[in-house]
Amino acid sequence: MARIVIAGAGAIGASIAYHLAARGAEDVVVADRAGVASGATGKAMGGVRQQFSTAAEVLLARESAGFFRELGAPFFEPVGYLFVATTEDGLAALEERAELQRGLGVPVNRVDPSRVDGLRVDDVLGAVCCWEDGVADAPAVTRELVRRAGVDVREGIDARDLERDVLVIAAGAASAELWPQLPVRPLCRQLVEVGPVEGLPDDLPMVLEAETGFHFRRAGDSLRLAMSEPTARWTDREDVDEALVEDWRARAAHRYPAAAGAAMARAWAGLYDMTPDAHPIIGWVGEGVYAACGFSGHGFMQSPAVGRAVAEELLDGESSIDLSPYRLERFEDGVVFPEELIL
């Protein structure tokens, strides 16, 4: 049996290893230049949603959702993903996407946002939610998959230095360092936690403003905040922009008044591995080289389906999930299908 070396011990690499082992692969090595969940996975928002704007992304997320539900607590909490709209255009966009999502089997429906205790809704025109979605502990899930896989894990090692028959590139924003032909580049994004916030309900959903992209979730007794930044930071430097911190604290106080005055508990930055169309690259990219990278901020939530599909393709030659939209060759052919919901 071929020796498979996976470069990257984040969510994608761990899931591939887990599914390879589950399918009987015996010679699998996961190598990371730092350690398990040490990169973007360890700094993730931890959202798990099926509400995307393109069919291909919805299907990947839908296939992953069942795996997260099986994991259950304490790894995953199905508290829901609530999108609120404050304008007619924003509401129309939400409902259009919801129609696509429902058509693909995702139970997303219009809801009354006032059912969420503590949420300010006087300026909200409408909302949609999928209550199957929720939040997860990304590094804990990743470590658990590595544990269950029982494969050889090499920390502080460059995968290229190991003997192998197949190299799987799952190194996130560093993937192009291993294979320069990959159009993957790093985008710095940050998160902020404010708290403690008094009276946070255990079942507070992930709340997202359709027009601004501002969103937050409960993280213990704090709120974890994130938002698309007004100026994209195309860099591998993981710096926190203090001006954004204050802006987000004000937004949190507006949408969830109990957070007004809550102190900043911590702020950190990580890297998205972006592709030109914000969709991942999955498939063979060279002789004995397979890529699973470029997830553009969605790698953790899609990792269960990706891990299964990659394992199937590596071992059986084909996958039960259609991976054709994600091949590297699409950029040569000029075929793109940009994802709109990059949070």
Range of the domain at 39: 1-74+136-183+275-343
* Structural domain includes residue 337: yes
* Structural domain includes residue 263: no
Q: Which residue has the tokens 């937050």?
A: 216
- In the sheet where 185-194 sits, what is the strand order? 108-111, 126-130, 81-85, 206-209, 215-219, 222-226, 185-194, 264-274
Q: What is the CATH number of the domain that holds 339?
A: 3.50.50.60
Write the burial class of residue 34 (CB in 10 Å: 0-12 exposed, 13-18 middle, 19+ buried). middle
* Structural domain includes residue 18: yes
Cα 295 to chain centroid distance, Å, stands at 7
pLDDT band of 287, cuts 50, 70, 90: very high
**For 247-262, how does the pLDDT look when each residue is reduced to its tens digit (9 = 90+)?**
999 999 999 999 999 9
Confidence (pLDDT) at 88: 97
pLDDT band of 334, cuts 50, 70, 90: confident
* Structural domain includes residue 244: no
- Residues 6 or more apart whose CB falls under 8 angstroms from that of 197 comprise 221, 222, 223, 256, 258, 259, 262
Q: What is the mean pLDDT of residues 309-329?
A: 96
Closest CA to 41 of 8, 69, 63: 8
- What is the helix (H) or strand (E) element at residue 311, kind and residue range? helix 299-316
**For 75-108, how does the pLDDT look when each residue is reduced to its tens digit (9 = 90+)?**
999 999 999 999 999 999 999 999 999 999 999 9
* Structural domain includes residue 218: no
Say how many domains are in the chain: 1
* Structural domain includes residue 296: yes
pLDDT band of 340, cuts 50, 70, 90: low
For residue 333, pLDDT over 90 is answered with no
Length of the chain as a residue count: 343
**For 168-183, how does the pLDDT look when each residue is reduced to its tens digit (9 = 90+)?**
999 999 999 999 999 9
* Structural domain includes residue 5: yes
* Structural domain includes residue 153: yes
